[in-house]
Amino acid sequence: MSWFARDISARLRAQELLARIQRELASAAHLAGKAEVATDVLHNVGNVLASLDSTAQLVAERVQGSRVAMFRRALAALPAAPPGDDSGADVRAYLALLTEQLEREHAETLTDLQTLGRHLEHVGSVIARQQAYAHSVPLVEAVRVEEVIADAVRMSEASLVRHGVAIAVESTVASTVMLDRHKVIEILTNFLANSRQALDASTTADKRILVRARRNTGGKLQIDVIDNGVGIPADELDRLFSYGFTTKRGGHGFGLAGSLLTARALEGTARGTSAGAGTGATFTVELPFRTAPQERAA
């Protein structure tokens, strides 16, 4: 009987081990399938993005080569009216106003196309990094912090304006620093989206976000995204950057977790703080402060 019991126990353990291995294999196969689908989607999106980028560049070149400047030259070349003859004054005034309007629209279109180009460049960088995430190497370059913040704000601006959120930027970082522009923008856009959602859930009429950059007392580059939204309960602060954690309906909990991973890849960190519900929140990314080589030499 003792031998029989030992034999049954061994078989049960073997069956449990086999079942666990089968579950793990099924899970691995499922994840591999999802990864393959995601890779195909990224590849297709990348192809479409490349086409959009080419089209945007072509449109920018056409707008840049516009003959709008000829209106100004043509207006200046019009012969002066004879003394006492103001019959063409209205036409001249109209042409002058038309020229100013066309020049203004031309300049605004160029600015919008340049913004679109930066957005496409950023999306392309994100896709390329996801396609080869395991082998990705940070693309560090000399940048001005306020320009990086401005790019992140521009990418979020349409959504913020639509939700009635006012945004301000403060920076005391005067020097050029070495950063991976696209990864920092990715972190900041996640922070801005999170703050905007917190403000959506708030009843305050004065919805505000402040993006503040400085070199902190520890010698690090610190960028804070501060909102006056619903705040964060104390029992949720420790889980904010946990993968899959979210308090939003329909949320997936990837944004802040991904931001923390990105910050760590940049040898930094990310955190969120709040005095409690209804007090707003601050999301912070802290990165090494490395000045550009030319500034170090100076």
Cα dihedral 283, 150, 155, 34 sign: negative
- Give me the amino acid identity at 184: V
Cα–Cα distance list, 208 to 154, 184, 264 (Å): 16, 22, 28
pLDDT of residue 134: 41
Beta carbons within 10 angstroms of residue 93's beta carbon: 10
pLDDT of residue 135: 44
Structure tokens at 280: 């707003």
pLDDT of residue 138: 59
Structure tokens at 252: 């997936």
> Which distant-in-sequence residues (6+ apart) come within 8 Å of 48 by Cβ?
none
pLDDT of residue 252: 55
pTM above 0.85, yes or no: no
What is the C-alpha to C-alpha distance for residues 230 and 274, in angstroms, rounded to an integer?
Answer: 10
Mean pLDDT in order along the chain per 10 residues (298 residues): 60 71 62 57 66 76 78 74 67 81 86 82 72 58 93 87 92 91 91 92 91 95 95 85 65 74 91 90 95 66
